[in-house]
Structure 1
C-alpha cells in the first residue's frame, strides 16, 4: 500500500480505466504487472504506481506518486506509450476515462494499534464544485475535519483519510483507508447522511455553497510497484 503522506510525492495522479468484467479486471492487472516488471523502473522521480480493482466489477483505479508534474510529462514522452501498447495488446478494448492531477492537502492518520492494521478496502470519494475556487475547496476540507473531530459517534473501521485538491481547482478527492468493505458499508448504513452523524457540522459540509456532486466507490489494492 502507498504512503499517501510521503513528503517527496508532490504530484499524485489518479485515473480510472473501464474494462467491463471481473475477469477482464484480473487480466488487465496481470498485463500491467508483466509490462512493468519486465522493464527497468522508468524514472527516479516516480515514487510508486498502484492499481486497484473496483467493487463494481468493471473498473480499475490507478494511483501514481510523482515528485513533480514535469517528471510525469517526461515519462509520457519516453516510456508511457510502449507500456500502453503492450497492455492493450493483451487486453483489447480498455476504456481510459481520464487522468486527474492533484495535490495532497490534509490527512488523518491512525494512531495506536490501528496504525499497524493493513487496509482491507480503499474508498475513493470524489467531490466536484462549481467553477474553479481553490479557497472554497480548502475551506470545505477544513470543515470536514471539524465535523470529524466533533463526531459524537465515530464509525469503527475507518483508518485514515487523505484529501487531495485537483490542480484545475474544481474537485476534491478523498483516499480513505478502511479495515474492510463491510465496515464502510455499516458506516453508511448508520444514522445520518454518509459516514457522519446528523450534526450541524456535517450538515454544513453537505450543504456547502457551490458543492455540485459527489461519488463514492470502493476498491481493493491489488498491485503496488515501487523502485528496487
Structure 2
C-alpha cells in the first residue's frame, strides 16, 4: 500500500513525515529489532526456524496483493498476528520487518526514509498488540484449534487498527501536509478495520489448517498447552 495519505495506505512514502521524526522512529525501530533478535535466539530451534522462513514467505506473498476497501482505498495484510501465533512475538516481528525491508529495497513499496516508521508500525507495534491480545485470549479460550483460530482472528483485527493509529501518531508529530488529524485517525481506523477483518479471516484459516496437521509447530498452542511462560522463556 505505497500511496499518498489520501488513499489511506499503510506503507508510508517518503516525505509524508518529516526528516527528524523519521530519524527518531528509525532509531526506535533499530532498538526494537535488536531487542527482538536477542529474545528470538531463545525461541529459535530446529522446529521453529523453518516455520519462520515459511511465515516470512507467506507474509511477503499476501502483502503483495492489494485489495479494494473503499473507493480510492486499498489495503493488504500486515501479518503480525499470524506471525505471533505461529512463531511467537520476537521471531514474528523479525519476519514482518524482513518482509518490509525487502519490499522497500526491491519493490519501492514504502519510502526508504520512512522504513523506520513502517517497521515501527507494522513489525513492532502491530505484532506487539497482536501478541498481547493473544496472551489474554488464549488464557480464556479453549486451547484447541477453534480457540487458536478465534484468537488469531480477533488479534488480527485489533492489531491492524492499532498499527494504523501508529501512523496517526507519527503524522501528528511530523506530518508535512495540512490535513485534519481527527479525520485521518477516523478514516485510517475505519478502513483498516475492514482490512483487519479480511486479514483475520485469512489468519484464522491458516492457523486452523496448520494446527490440525501440526499443532506442535503453532507457538501459541504449544506455549499455553504446556503452561510455560509465554514471553521470554525458550520454546519447549
| TM beyond 0.5 | no
**TM-score (norm: length of structure 1):** 0.27
**TM-score (norm: length of structure 2):** 0.26
| Higher helix proportion (structure 1 or 2) | 2
Larger Rg: 1
| Higher strand proportion (structure 1 or 2) | 1
